[in-house]
């Protein structure tokens, strides 16, 4: 087993890079894009975004609104040798319609919890995130779904650009802190409980879980999902 199977050093490194990043490049880039939301609400659907991941403050705030609106992050980050899953946090449930709309999107395509919406919803479609391009070159990405939604080439004032930078960088740092805390916690939890994470087995467990998920589920045979929240694992019960 590697010493860093939970990739803690990767997340610490990303955080260092993020904290040393100058806002200039981001601001120039998003100013050039000149995006404004046209309220198409596509970003609030599974068709455009896989899931809405919640940071811990989001989870606690949203639980007060509707305790049945969240479920474990579908990324199923880790598993133990018994096939139980351990995930970094909760996500918002979606409706059963074709678009897989967020549970809080109303029939007029408006957010029912707008003032209390998750931080990622306040930030999207902006991001400050490193990932490889089609040729494998890793670089900063600042905008999601270019051309798929909204209006472009519009004027954004200096004040607006600065506000976008401030909230986006806050989200990204909060997110990385959350991942680092989760990964440190699970490392210790696995060590203390004689549990093992094996990447190859994990891929098999995920495949098996996803293939069974929608077909005549026998819940009693399903793996347990443990969700990291406020420095402990919560056992998820549907």
Give the residue, chosen from 8, 30, 33, 52, that forms a contact with ligand SF4 under the rule CB under 6 A: 52
Contact pick of 8, 33, 44, 123 for ligand SF4 (by CB under 6 A): 44
Nearer to ligand SF4, 55 or 121 (CB): 121
Q: Which of 6, 104, 226, 228 binds ligand SF4 (CB under 6 A)?
A: 104
The correct pick among 12, 27, 63, 111 for binding ligand SF4 (CB under 6 A) is 111
For residue 223, the 8-state DSSP code is P
CB of 169 within 8 A of CB of 23? yes
Beta strands in the chain (DSSP E): 70-72, 78-79, 85-87, 90-92, 126-132, 138-143, 225-228, 233-235
Among 113, 128, 180, 227, binds ligand SF4 (CB under 6 A): 113
Q: Minimum Å distance from CB 102 to ligand SF4?
A: 3
Stretch that binds ligand SF4, among 4-12, 100-108, 151-159, 196-204 (CB under 6 A): 100-108
CB of 222 to ligand SF4, least distance (A): 26
**Residue 71 Cβ, how far from ligand SF4 at the closest point, in Å?**
14
The DSSP string of 59-95 is HHHHHHH-TTSEEE-TT--EE-TTS-EEES-EEE-B-
Residue 78 or 104 having the CB closest to ligand SF4: 104
Segment near ligand SF4 (CB under 6 A); pick from 19-27, 111-119, 200-208, 211-219: 111-119
Q: Please select the residue that binds ligand SF4; options are 8, 87, 121, 225, rule is CB under 6 A.
A: 121
Listed in sequence order, the residues at least 6 apart from 203 whose beta carbon sits closer than 8 Å to its beta carbon are none
Kindly state the tokens that stand for 187: 């490392």
**Residue partners of 6: CB distance under 8 A and separation at least 6:** 78, 183, 184, 186, 187, 197
CA angle 81/9/226 to nearest 5° reads 35
Does 102 help bind ligand SF4 (rule: CB under 6 A)?
yes
Summarize as ranges the residues that interact with ligand SF4 (CB under 6 A): 44, 52, 92, 102, 104-105, 111, 113, 117-118, 121
């Amino acid at each position: 087993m590697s010493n860093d199977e939970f990739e803690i050093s990767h997340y610490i490194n990303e955080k260092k890079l993020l904290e040393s990043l100058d806002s200039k490049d981001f601001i120039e880039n998003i100013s050039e894009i000149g995006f404004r939301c046209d309220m198409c609400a596509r970003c609030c659907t599974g068709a455009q975004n896989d899931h809405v991941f919640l940071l811990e403050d989001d989870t606690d705030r949203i639980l007060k609104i509707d305790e049945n609106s969240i479920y474990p992050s579908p990324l199923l980050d880790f598993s133990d040798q018994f096939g139980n899953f351990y995930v970094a946090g909760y996500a918002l449930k979606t409706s059963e319609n074709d678009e897989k709309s967020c549970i809080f999107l109303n029939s007029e395509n408006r957010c029912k919890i707008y003032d209390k919406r998750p931080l990622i919803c306040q930030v999207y479609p902006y991001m400050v995130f490193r990932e490889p391009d089609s040729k494998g070159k890793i670089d900063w990405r600042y905008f999601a779904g270019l051309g798929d939604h909204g209006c472009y080439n519009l004027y954004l004032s200096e004040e607006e650009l600065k506000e976008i930078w401030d909230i986006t960088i806050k989200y990204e740092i909060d997110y990385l802190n959350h991942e680092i805390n989760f990964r440190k916690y699970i490392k210790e939890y696995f060590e203390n409980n004689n549990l093992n994470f094996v990447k190859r087995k994990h891929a098999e467990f995920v495949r098996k879980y996803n293939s069974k998920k929608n077909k005549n589920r026998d819940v009693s045979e399903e793996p347990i999902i443990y969700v990291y929240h406020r420095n402990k694992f919560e056992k998820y019960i549907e």
